[in-house]
Structure 1
Amino acid sequence: MIKPLLTRLLGHLIKQNSWARPHLQPYAGKHIRLQLFPVSATLVVLEDGGLAMAGDTAIYDASMRISPSLALRLLAKDASAHSEIALEGDTEFAIALGKILQAMSWDYEEDLSHVVGDVAASQISQRLQEGVAATRKQAVNLTEMAAEFWQEEQPLIAKKRHVEAFNRDVDTLRDDVGRLEKHIEKLSARLDALLQKQS
């Protein structure tokens, strides 16, 4: 029941973003599993460059897993969040599809105008844009507060400067150990030489 509806929605989205078809056609027949806890779905690229929902038992070529916290960062347009999406299988296909989906836009104002008229659709669209902007701002604030809490109050995440200082200390220790090993080797060689002279 829900899969045909989602397939129609994907078809409508592709129709509004017809530029995407030629970019998707090279991946025709490929399946990708999208996992955004607790929801997961498998999409298939159609021969004409469209997208459709695949069956639950479909074997997928790639998978893309996004945690809820990462989804908030993506919503907040955090550029570094994209590199943290967990990809498996055919990563070239997953990355290409991810970029295409990210570049797509839904012209909901046009769709609303067919239902409620142009003026009402414009007003609803403006309210939706304001709501999305407010949600995005709240997501950024929430993410920043959570990161600060995990760094200061309950240190689960190390600060970048602390990680860099730790790495420098490890490098210094490694170099010191290397010098100490060479010094011990020299002392051992001298001791062997002295023992051989005495015998």
Structure 2
Amino acid sequence: MATQSPFSFLNGLLERVVTGPQLPSWLVHEVQQRTVLFLNHVLMQEKAAMERLVRQKGRVARVQWRSYTMALAITPAGLLDLAEADAVPDLQLEVTDTSPLALAQAALRGDKPAIRIEGDVQLAADINWLVDNVQWDIEEDLARVIGDAPAHTVSQVARKAAQTLRQFVGARAADKTRSGEIGGRNLP
């Protein structure tokens, strides 16, 4: 007999939040602008990443999850900018898993989400390289604000907490697999 997770209510709650009222367009635009600024901040820390993107200047990639979309244009400097509303994407990336909880669990395990890809193969390969090889150096940014030693300590604690959370999620997934539970339903 499989037991139900005490956190199963979260999936329904997240579903209701995500499918709830539509966000105002100005808020969506601001979130997209902040996302582009963050992505560019991370890209600027990796010269090789910017060099790869320079080769793709002028290309547009559209990312979609559910009804949320964001089209990014690659600038001549090898950075990103929001694409014009009428821009035709050279590459379309659609996250196929619609469950926010499943996406969060996959991220905690270190897995990439399932994505449907359409369009330019070389642009897709370059973006995949970026995803695999470019990481935000949180500790370096934190050190600019609070100093090296405190930033190192905070980063160590955060890494340990993330590792513990990954182990918990991995153990929970293994328990589900052993008990035959798939997608919240028990197998016969």
Bin for the TM-score computed over the shorter chain: 0.5 to 0.7
The counterpart of 2:165, out of the listed 107, 113, 135, is: 135
Normalising by structure 1, we get a TM-score of: 0.63
In structure 2, the residue matched to 1:121 is: 151
Matched, 1:100 2:130: yes
Q: Which is higher, the Rg of structure 1 or of structure 2?
A: 1
In structure 1, the residue matched to 2:182 is: 150
* Greater relative contact order structure (CA < 8 Å, 6+ sep): 2
Structure 1, unaligned runs of 5 or more = 157-199
> Deviating runs (4+, > 6 A) in structure 1?
none
CA distance in 1, matches of 2:69, 2:105: 17
1:47 counterpart SS class: coil
Larger proportion of helix? 1
Matched, 1:15 2:44: yes
Q: What's the offset of the Cα at 1:99?
A: 2.1
Matched, 1:112 2:142: yes
CA distance in 2, matches of 1:14, 1:3: 16
Q: What's the offset of the Cα at 1:9?
A: 1.3
CA distance in 1, matches of 2:81, 2:165: 29
- Superposition pairs of residues 72-87 of structure 1, within 5 angstroms: 72-73=105-106, 75-78=108-111, 84-87=114-117
Matched, 1:61 2:90: yes
Provide Cα deviations, 1:150-184, integer angstroms capped at 9, x if missing partner: 29x6349xxxxxxxxxxxxxxxxxxxxxxxxxxxx
RMSD in angstroms over aligned alpha carbons?
Answer: 2.9
Q: What's the offset of the Cα at 1:20?
A: 0.7
Contact in 1 for aligned 2:32/2:70 (Cα 8 Å) = no
Between the aligned residues of both structures, percent identity stands at: 24
Q: Look up the equivalent residue of 1:17 and give its one-letter code.
A: E
Structure 2, unaligned runs of 5 or more = 1-29
1:41 counterpart SS class: strand
Task: Quickly say closer, same or farther: Cα 1:35–1:128, change in 2 above 3 A.
Answer: farther
CA distance in 2, matches of 1:28, 1:139: 39
In structure 1, the residue matched to 2:15 is: none
CA distance in 2, matches of 1:40, 1:100: 20
Of 49-58 and 4-13, deviating more is 49-58
In structure 1, the residue matched to 2:9 is: none
Task: Quickly say closer, same or farther: Cα 1:127–1:54, change in 2 above 3 A.
Answer: farther
In structure 1, the residue matched to 2:23 is: none
In structure 1, the residue matched to 2:8 is: none
